[in-house]
Structure 1
Amino acid sequence: MEENASSPVTLPRDNPTRSYWQDPPADIADLRTTVSLPESADVVIVGSGITGAAIAWNLLQNARHENFAPRSIVMLEARQACSGATGRNGGHTKAASYRTFLHHAKEHGIAEAVKVAKLELANIRALHAFAREHNIDCDSHPCQTVDVVYDAAQWAEDQRAVQALRDAMPGHPASEYGLLTADEVRDRFYCGRGGDEDIAGGVFYEAGSMSSYRLVIGILKLCLERGLNLLTNTPVLNVEKMTNGDGSDGWRLETERGAITARKVILATNGYTAHLLNQFQGVIVPLRGHVTAQRPGQNMPQNGLTVTYSFIHGDSYDYMIPRPPGSRFEGDIVIGGGLHDLTDGAASEYGTTDDTGFNGVIAENLHECLPDYFGDNWGDDHCDGRIRRAWTGIMGYSPDGCPFVGAVPGAENLWMAASFQGHGMVLCWMCAKALAAMIDGRDDDELKDWFPDAFRVKEDRLKQAFRGALHLQAAES
């Protein structure tokens, strides 16, 4: 794993696998708002996924403040708009905060762990509220979720974690989890009974699903209406420090289409960050994730499944999102993960930025797992076949399991929000809000009251050794 994790990070690859959500691509997928690359801008954002889009939205909203009102914001994207991890995830808005609470409490203290749990739930609710408020057609579907736990030791740990969360924040919605017996999981959620019946228990709580691709396309369109210059198919090759007219540090970005200078640069590059910031090589480590969209078996409920799922096997899991009523291909099952049969854990997938192909073992796991999870409730495969589409995407992981949000150490006017641990749909929106406040000069007590200090970019975090995903969260997007 150490050798893979230290592999040089590349630019996003050409001709990636086509995700379920990107077929057909959005009408702004290849948009270049201006024909040529501008010579300069107040702000350049690198990356057009949910982080970049949310940062652009917040900066444009913050323009009414006197502290920092950018006259021009340029967004550079290496491939098509929202072509990275956001456009490739399963669309799961699911925190599973109990799964990380004990880790965060041990490493950062109870108060920080509580902040993380509250932020995650607030992020989920904010995404669905934003989609409603702005009429973004992204299949926003708040719902409940169930974690089906197959390991007795893991089940004991999960019950302890849920109780710790309840004790730390009694009565708060972020601590509301229901515990289910194995029989309750089988009876209520169609699991086992002729398949994988070795269920230890289950956890039931608030979550949701959406097309994160269509959500971000909607956000980008709102930003375009407010003056954002989106330039797709414009990979950034290098970022160099220069001096602004006022003596402060500015930046020159080399692209395949020329150079642009900026007063401020924001990297929303997630698993690709080390390509531009060498100090993050081996610190923000790419991990390739696999996702499939499958037609349901003939015995599955005619009206579709009403909750999302995670199937937890000790340190690994699969996550599953049924397509909601009224959506395209309603009833389809989107399922990702598939790491549990790898002999090296996830080690062989660390360090790769290749989303043009698949790991054969992982692909087979995902293709074959649903009849095991649902047993007799699955039935014969659909007459058109089980697999509708399969694809891969690149996530970013850090040594301590937290994202990096804030100013890059030793680099004035260079900012970042990256390394979301495959958990972007419950972290990116609120992290972007926090970063925009920092850039706007409002890094005050109000921000510190809700934003975890553990998420900030600090020199000591860059010195930690990468040991793999410390807590592969059961809500991977």
Structure 2
Amino acid sequence: MDQRASIPVTLPRDNPTRSYWQLEPDKIADVRSTDSLPEKAEVIIIGSGITGAAMAFNLLETGTRDIVMLEARQACSGATGRNGGHTKAASYLSFPEHEKQHGTAMAVKIARLELANIRAVHAFAREHGIECDSHPCDTVDVVYDAARWQFNQRAVKTMQDAMPDDDASVYAVHSAEEVRSKFFCGRGGDEGVYGGLSYEAGSLNSYQFAIGVLKLCLEKGLNLQTNTPALNLEKVGGGWKVETTRGSIEARKVILATNGYTASIWEKFQGVIVPLRGHVTAQRPGLNIPSDRLAGSYSFFSEKGYDYMIQRPKGSKFEGDIVIGGALSKAVADGLEEYGTADDTILNEDIIKALEGSLPRYFGDNSGRDHPDGRIRNAWTGIMGYSPDGFPFVGEVPGEKDLWVSTSFQGHGMVLCWMCARALTTMINGNPGENEELNSWFPEVYRITEGRLSLTFKGRLRN
């Protein structure tokens, strides 16, 4: 893993695999608010995914003006526009370790933030009329390994003992037979189902959500500069200069919303925020699966890893399609070569083959014959960012005044980014009263520190 983590992180590549969500890019995909790059700005945000969009919106709402956003490729062309469409926390999986390492209060705070993030994203889409197929729903974790099933049940009990009567600890436990009858898994396919857990979650088109937030920001005066990679970052006077392919721009503050690509801009993150390439497919459902049969979302847990799945809701484009990703453990050496790569232009054929066979494997006869047009509609990759301790980095880079980051979301950006952006906005604005309130809900372990930057990456901790 040391060798993979040491691979120099590159800028986003040209001609990435085409994300299902971007088969028809939005009209702002290539927007440049001004023909030339401004010489100066108050704030530069690098990255136009959900973190960059949320940061721009929050800062504009709290009075900051003259914000320039730089995006290396098209708007929202990174991880946000390439994920599996989940807003799903599965907080119970990490709760025991968080409690062991950081105490019960911190573990509870993390679980509450994740659920609050899910609810906030869907509420924002609803409040602002963002058409992104927002679908709050339950999810089910289907378990195919005896040891993992025992662990999952213990983890849920640990969480519920620590935070009884809390929304974040509400889980329903399902027997193997109930999983087969209620969630249609196993019949005629993989019979090794041990049980399942269901809980609050959701799904959405995160590309359209982030694009919707960016449009709100453009109306408020955001200067968006797409297809403008940031090449270098250096201190100048009382601020920062960002060198791009189209010239340089200076600002008092710079915010890195760059997730797995962060080390390509600020070398101190090399080996600390490690890219990991993920794979996702969009599949036409088997003929036995009607478009409204799978009302919630799914994850399928085996001994070594998991796959995750949503079905596109009624009224959406490609209604009924099943979006399923994961299968990292199906690659050579459990997917070791996917670590350290920032190349989303190609596919790992072993992983794609495993995903292609996933629906008959999980649903068996309940899936039915393939659609006449074939099973796979689209397959693509995206780059996630992982840290040594499994937590995001949020805050001001130690020793670098007014260089701020909200990055490294462990493949769970849709349940972390929104609230982390809210926290970072409070830190940047520096209101003492708001900072005191922030400490009541924002996990201290997410804050960037010199100690965390010195940790050694050993692989992803949450699986």
TM-score, normalisation: structure 1:
0.96
1:94 corresponds in structure 2 to 88
How far, CA to CA, are the matches of 1:257 and 1:340 in structure 2?
41
Aligned residue in 2 for 1:298: 287
Return the alpha-carbon distance in structure 2 between the equivalents of residues 319 and 407 of structure 1. Answer: 33
2:441 aligned to 447, 450, 453, which one? 450
Contact 1:401 1:470 in 2 (8 A): yes
Q: In structure 2, the residue corresponding to 1:252 is in which secondary structure?
A: strand
Q: In the alignment, which residue of structure 1 is the partner of 2:148?
A: 154
Question: Which amino acid in 2 is paired with 1:51?
Answer: T
Aligned partner letter, 1:206: E
Matched, 1:30 2:21: no
- 1:39-96, CA deviations, whole angstroms, 9 ceiling, x for partnerless residues? 0000000000000000011101111xxxxxx330000000000000000001100011
What is the Cα deviation at residue 346 of structure 1? 2.6
Match of 1:9 in 2: 9
Could you tell me which amino acid in structure 2 is paired with residue 452 of structure 1? P
Distance 1:197 1:179 in 2: 18
What whole-Å deviation, never above 9, does each CA across 1:15-51 have from its counterpart, x for those lacking one? Answer: 0011111110000000000000000000000000000
How many residues in Structure 1 have an aligned counterpart in Structure 2? Answer: 461
Q: In the TM superposition, what are the counterparts of 1:455-474 in structure 2 within 5 Å?
A: 455-472=446-463
* Counterpart check, 1:200 vs 2:191: no
Task: Report the alpha carbon displacement of residue 4 of structure 1 after superposing the two structures with TM.
Answer: 1.2
CA distance in 2 between counterparts of 1:326 and 1:86 reads 22
Question: Is 1:62 aligned to 2:62, yes or no?
Answer: yes
Q: Which residue of 2 aligns with 1:238?
A: 232
Structure 1 CA distance for aligned equivalents of residues 315 and 107 of structure 2: 37
Pair 1:169-2:158 in alignment: no
- 1:144 is aligned to 138
- Cα distance in 2 for residues equivalent to 1:71 and 1:370: 49
Q: Is the 8 A contact 2:281 2:378 kept in 1?
A: yes
Measure the CA separation in 1 of the matches of 2:429 and 2:38.
Answer: 23
SS of the residue aligned with 2:298?
strand
**What is aligned with 1:354?**
343
Contact kept, 8 Å, 2:291 with 2:321, in 1: the verdict is no
Which residue of 2 is the match for residue 382 of structure 1? 371
The amino acid that maps onto 1:420 is: F
Distance in 2, matches of 1:289 and 1:39, equals 37
Query: Any unmatched runs of 5+ in structure 2?
Result: none
SS at match of 2:178: helix
Residue 279 of structure 1: aligned partner: 268
Which of 78, 99, 105 aligns to 1:105? It is 99
For residues 305 and 202 of structure 1, the distance between their equivalents in structure 2, rounded to whole angstroms, comes to 15
SS of equivalent to 1:136: coil
Q: Distance in 2 between matches of 1:430 and 1:315?
A: 30
In 2, are the aligned partners of 1:87 and 1:213 still within 8 Å (CA)? Answer: yes
Structure 1 equivalent of residue 118 of structure 2 = 124
Rounded Cα–Cα distance in structure 1 between residues aligned with 2:102 and 2:38: 43
Counterpart of 1:311? 300
The Cα of 1:281 is off from its aligned counterpart by 0.4
Q: Report how far residue 139 of structure 1 moved.
A: 0.3
Q: Distance in 2 between matches of 1:379 and 1:316?
A: 25
Partner of 2:45: 45
Query: SS of the counterpart of 2:136?
Result: strand
Q: Which residue pairs with 1:66 in the alignment?
A: none
Match of 1:369 among 341, 358, 364: 358
Distance 2:209 2:292 in 1: 25
* CA–CA distance in structure 2, aligned partners of residues 168 and 196 of structure 1: 35
Q: Contact 2:291/2:319 (CA < 8 Å) preserved in 1?
A: no
User: Is contact 1:193-1:377 (8 Å) kept?
Assistant: yes
Q: Which moved more, 1:419-428 or 1:99-108?
A: 99-108
Cα distance in 1 for residues equivalent to 2:438 and 2:366: 48
Residues 409-420 of structure 1 aligned to structure 2 (within 5 Å) = 409-420=398-409
Cα offset for 1:243?
A: 1.2
1:182 aligns with 2:176: yes
User: Structure 1 residue 405: deviation in Å?
Assistant: 0.4
Q: Determine helix, strand or coil for the equivalent of 1:142.
A: strand
Residue aligning to 1:67: none
Aligned in 2, Cα 1:302/1:352: closer, same or farther, shift over 3 Å?
closer
Find 1:80's aligned residue among 50, 74, 80.
74
TM-score, normalisation: structure 2: 0.98
Q: Hey, what's the Cα distance between the residues in 1 that align with 2:100 and 2:333?
A: 27
Q: Deviations over 1:297-319 (max 9, x none)?
A: 01123533111000001341000
Match of 1:256 in 2: 245
Rounded Cα–Cα distance in structure 1 between residues aligned with 2:266 and 2:96: 31
Q: Which residue of 1 aligns with 2:223?
A: 229
Letter in 2 for 1:14: D
Q: What is the SS of the residue equivalent to 2:299?
A: strand
RMSD: 0.9
